[in-house]
Amino acid sequence: MSSYGLIDYFWCLTLDFKMSQNKTIKSALISVFSKKGLAPIVKKLNEQGVTIYSTGGTQKFINDLGIDVVPAEEITEYPSILGGRVKTLHPKIFGGILNRQDNDQDVQEMDTFSIPQIDAVIVDLYPFEKTVASGASDEDIIEKIDIGGISLIRAAAKNFKDVICVSSVEDYGEFLNLITAENGAISIEDRKRFATKSFNVSSHYDSAIFNYFNKEKEEVVLKISETQGSVLRYGENPHQKGYFFGDFEAMFTKLHGKELSYNNLLDVDAAVNLMNEFNGENPTFAILKHNNACGVAQRESLHQAYIDALAGDPVSAFGGVLISNCEVDLATAEKIHTLFCEVVIAPSFSAEAESVLKGKKNRILLIQNSVSLPETSVRTCLNGVLVQEKDTITDDASILENATTSTPVESEIEDLLFASKICKHTKSNTIVLAKNKQLCASGTGQTSRVDALNQAIHKATSFKFNLSGAVMASDAFFPFPDCVEIAKNAGITAVIQPGGSIKDQLSIDYCNSNNVAMVFTKTRHFKH
């Protein structure tokens, strides 16, 4: 035999093997909650001569299409009982799904017990998560824990060698295309792929149920399941793969611009968390770079707030992420348009402002929707993960404790709280300097608090800020009086810090001797 003949021979063998692994659907069990998109599938299966088994509302839906259905009760010889809690949980149903068609004993038992073969299972589960999110009663939520459906999915997915499992309305379209293209014949590769989808559905469903029952964290267990994932261009660097798992569309309405990168998303997250501190307050604008604020200001108008935020560091603002706590108007948009920036976020944009900002094709415009953020943060650590409650404490006037004989005046208190909000969202060790509700400068991510302060002073003076009468915020206590001394010499008149050092008195004594007001918050805001 020639080499070409051998190639043809082995190609034919391979083709025959693959064909032998194809399974043509001759029977299907359909039991779904949502009927959306189901009709075309049912009509196609009926056209292909498939026997359809079903229950309850799904059975009625199919009958209303003028298509014959074999009720599950005819197989089980049991009616639906316990208010519909038990319909398909029966050996004849699960035997039809789980039997191994290449196993002689299974085949024999199927015949002995009159068990029908089931080649396809189509299930859409009760909407447990949506019911929880709706604020429904515990009783209603419990009834939306699917038992029969989840069991059908697991059984069919386990036996993917002989059965295809369609476990979500999201997969109806793809399944319809498969049975249409091959007249109901499904390859082993497709059956295994759908099994993978199914186990994703079942594991996510169980995680949601567990997390509902474990709201009080009585079980120290971490279960995170995100089914909405997207592949990013890359991670922090081009040689790293990157992914985002979450419902971005629920959080934002994207009006314009390129695809967000991994680093864009980190900066957007930092921007949103910072601006949450200023919800409901006067117009506030912030500019962030590398997860830290490089400019923040609060004014009577957003236009002025933007101008003063940019003045905090016009160099770092290049390529930054911008965020507002109120609608961006035309005047503000025209100013923003002269700056190269990656992302602009706001609760809304006026039509004129949107038109102007769309003038740069890659600039990303995001409307921030009113969505609750997660209450915990998760990050990898060693060979596991660290989980903590988010720092949800915002320092306000009610918690301030005067540590010095000199007390801050009202305007200084406002600046102190303004600086504290920024400090909370800046990389430790950090020092934030502010004046007249404007960020003058911050020292970020330094190994010593003295270095952070010196960095902030140098940066503020380089951008021509007069620090006389400015205030200082620290994310943690001062173990020595060196910081308050340096601050005083730079013009700082008031300080906000958590307190709690065994040497607090040294800083207090210096402030008392030099007419510097200091308040304690009793709350540390480390951000590592």
Our CA dihedral for 152, 153, 158, 159, rounded to 10 degrees, sits at: 60
Measured between alpha carbons, how far is 312 from 440 in angstroms, rounded to an integer?
Answer: 5
Strands (E), 369-411: 376-381, 384-389, 401-402
Helix (H, G, I), strand (E, B) or coil at 357: helix
* d(C-alpha 391, C-alpha 31), whole Å: 45
b/e 166-190 (16+ beta carbons within 10 angstroms → b): bbbbebbeebbebbeeeebebbbeb
Interior/surface letters 374-385, b for 16+ CB within 10 angstroms, e for the rest: eeeeeeeeeeee
Could you count the other beta carbons within 10 Å of the beta carbon of residue 156? 29
Active site residue 290: yes
Instruction: Tell me the residue type at 404.
Output: T
Give residue 395's identity as a one-letter amino acid code. Answer: D
Count other Cβ atoms within 10 Å, centred on residue 143: 16
Q: Which residue of the set 26, 35, 44, 158 is catalytic?
A: 158
* Residue 59 and residue 37 in contact, taking contact as beta carbons nearer than 8 Å: no
3-state helix/strand/coil string of 30-75: EEECCCCCHHHHHHHHHHCCCEEEECHHHHHHHHHCCCCCEEHHHH
Residue among 290, 337, 358, 360 flagged as catalytic: 290
Active site residues: 158, 290
